[in-house]
Structures are given as structure tokens and as C-alpha cells.
Amino acid sequence: MTTTQPDPEWPLYEVFIRSKRGLNHVHVGSLHAPDAEMALLHARDVYTRRNEGVSIWVAKSADITASSPLEKDPLFAPSGDKVYRHPTFYDIPSNVPHM
């Protein structure tokens, strides 16, 4: 049996799995693949071996822009005076699961 090693030129993809309906996707890891379709198939094989996922997202690492934890205060401070942006401002209906 021959195994194919990932080509170092293949882009890196970040993998997100939703474990149950109604829950958020969670970052579970990264993998190299030649394209998004292959990344999705490899993610299924690597990260959902026991059928624990209902949905998979893959995104090229290069396409993700993230803030630094050091930027927390200047980035999020403007929302402090907007109480309607806080989840506690709203009443959640009792029939809404996973909130």
C-alpha cells in the first residue's frame, strides 16, 4: 500500500466541524490539500471518523483575517456603550435549543 504525502506547495486549510444540529462549528485542526473539495474529503476522513459531525467547513488559512488578542481593548471598546449588542439585552424564547 502506498501513501501519498501532502505536497508542501498545497495550501493549508482550516477545518471546522459542527457536531450536532443547532450548535456552532468549532475549529478542529488544519490540513494541506490541493483544492477545497479535496480538503473537505480529507477533513471528513481525518476529523469525523466516528460519525460525530453533521457539517464540515474548510477555509484556506491564507483567506482568514484575525485580530490579535493584544488588540482586544481598542477593537471591542466601542461596543461597550451599545447595550443592545449584548446577548443579555434580549429575552430568549424557551423553545430555542442550545442557547
CATH of the domain at 51: 3.10.20.520
Determine the pLDDT at residue 89: 80
The structure's pTM equals 0.67
Residue 99 lies in a domain: no
pLDDT at residue 6 greater than cutoff 70? no
Residue 98 has pLDDT above 80, yes or no: no
Which three cell numbers mark 28? 478542529
Q: What angle do CA 80, 82, 86 make, to 5 degrees?
A: 80
Q: How far apart are CA 99 and CA 87, in angstroms?
A: 10
For 1-99, strand residue ranges (E) read 12-18, 26-32, 55-60
- At 26-85, the pLDDT tens digits run 999 999 999 999 999 999 999 998 877 899 999 999 999 998 888 888 777 766 677 777
Structural domains of the chain, count: 1
3-state SS, residue 75: helix
Q: What is the band of 11 on the pLDDT scale with cuts at 50, 70, 90?
A: very high
Largest separation between any pair of C-alpha atoms in the chain: 62
Supply the Cα-derived Rg of the chain in whole angstroms: 19
